[in-house]
Amino acid sequence: MRTRLLTAVALAAVLVTGGCGDGDDKAPSNGASSGAPRVAQTSKVTVLAAASLTESFDKIGALFEDLNPGVDVTFSYGGSSGLAQQITSGAPADVFAAASPATMKTVVDAGDGNGPTVTFTRNQLVIAVPKGNPKGITSLAALAKPEVKVALCAEQVPCGAAATKALGTAGVKVTPVTQEQDVKAALAKVKLGEVDAALVYRTDARSATADVDGVEFAESASALNDYQISALTNAPNPSGASAFVTFVQTPQAQQVLTDAGFQQP
């Protein structure tokens, strides 16, 4: 494993620095012939990623920067479908990390995914409830009670599609009081006390243990979400994009995801 990690890290460093030079930017003369491109001292990698990756990708980005001095990884988090729309509308970015293959497919089909598309982790739903679970919610069936206020993700985003599938498997019909555009927004409704429960990813419930409890339910196994990542066709920093995608697959980055509650694909 150590050998594989060192190899991947070395590859990442080479890919990032290799794409930073400008063929017309020569190294300062030091008395020797200097016709080779100068390697830039800084490089920016812009990553659009599903909101549920926020805590994990912040850590992975910091590790990537530590291994590649001078590189700045910038993240923009949100609902995967909204991010996909930004990309297909021409928003400049190097990497896209989506919470479902269906969302990634919209980017690839539009010609904006530079591939290969990699499934790098997966996630599972839980019922997020206020700390101490005051309503005693232990199953999806409890969410159908009229006195229980529920937040769901909108159906067009991956967490909403997963919730729809899990509820269908359980044969439970829920009328949410709100539908949010990403999982963090749904979780925030629980944290603020505006709803009694929300269907969110296990990782998001874990990231908010001071405010919420996560209630596991069997039907979530029918609605696992595979997360995919790809460099983008019009990436301003294509070598940096490739390097980051490579690094996300290393044991070091995968351990960050596992520690957060993500599962191996």
| Chunked mean pLDDT (size 10), the chain, 265 residues | 40 44 37 32 86 97 95 97 97 97 97 94 98 97 97 96 96 97 97 98 96 96 96 96 96 97 93
Residue numbers of the domain that contains 136: 125-223
**So what's the pLDDT on residue 265?**
87
Looking up residue 68, the CATH number of its domain turns out to be 3.40.190.10
Q: Which amino acid is at 6?
A: L
**What local confidence, expressed as pLDDT, does residue 191 receive?**
97
Is residue 31 a part of any domain in this protein?
no
Residues 104, 228 contacting (CB under 8 angstroms): yes
In this structure, are residues 226 and 122 in contact, taking their beta carbons and an 8 Å threshold? yes
The total number of structural domains that make up the chain: 2
Model pLDDT, residue 99: 97
Contact 79, 187 (CB under 8 A): no
Shared domain for 12 and 95, answered yes or no, is yes
Tell whether 116 and 232 lie within a shared domain. yes
Query: Cβ distance 261 to 206 under 8 Å?
Result: yes
Residues 103 and 172 in one domain: no
- Please report the pLDDT score of residue 14 as a whole number: 41
Residues 10, 78, single domain; the answer is: yes
Per-residue confidence (pLDDT) for residue 137, from 0 to 100: 98
Within-domain flag for 139? yes
- Cut 0.85: pTM above it: no
